[in-house]
Amino acid sequence: GTLRGAWGFRGSVVSDCDCVAGVHGGPDYTPTDAGAVAATINAGCDQDCGSWTHDFGEAAVRDGLVAEGALRGALARVLEMRFRLGEFDDAAKNPHARVTATCAPADKALALQAARESVVLLNNSAGLLPLPLALDGGGGARPRIAVVGPLANASDVMMGGKSDFLPCDGPPVSVLAGIASHGADIVGYAPGCADGAACENASGFAAAAAPAAASDVAVAVVGIDGSVEMEGHDRDNVTLPGAQEALLEQLAAA
């Protein structure tokens, strides 16, 4: 009702992988495999990224669990999308058939533009940013910077949850390496959390507070990585893991 009614969406809806299977089982879900397929199709999900609809869709139809209108609508939307993509056309005339991953300069420039436009700065009320680093050419005094936090020197985390896609120009760059590459005056680095992003071991807090106290600006890099949350490894809250918030408080006090 919301997606297609209120918002006017006319495209096809596909589940996340194996999520149709997740509708099956438990007291709050459908009790049968075919029932899970029927529930998702009747709710407006056209395709299953997984095997559940393929394996149990026929039973759902045979048992009369799927509304015919919902089934026809799903089929029409999937076929329309495939026709629009040219899947039934001559491959030689289909531009989508020739799309490949590329590291051409124009594509790299577009990727950089997309990355820059997706960054969100929540608050800069103190006017602290951008930092006057060595290559900025401002001519003023450079701040002494401490780079701290469990993810400050982590590179893979910069790629997000799908880190099986590598950048064109080698491995990703950590925040520490990125700041250093601009010739910044880094007075110290310390992870703070002795056990990484989980941050259940606070024995390194003092070692992180020391460079923070000796600096003009402390860049604290906290958050989550694959050890805390990833595909198939969910969290039940969205707070900073472990004692990371306590680390930030100690850095601020320093």
Catalytic residues, by residue number, are 16
CA torsion sign, 118 to 227 to 155 to 169? negative
Report the SS3 class of residue 181: helix
User: How far apart (Å, rounded) are the C-alpha atoms in residues 74 and 11?
Assistant: 10
**How far out from the chain centre does Cα 54 lie?**
28
Residue showing tokens 């050419």: 137
User: How far apart (Å, rounded) are the C-alpha atoms in residues 143 and 24?
Assistant: 57
Report the SS3 class of residue 30: strand
User: How far apart (Å, rounded) are the C-alpha atoms in residues 164 and 173?
Assistant: 15
Which amino acid, 53? Answer: T
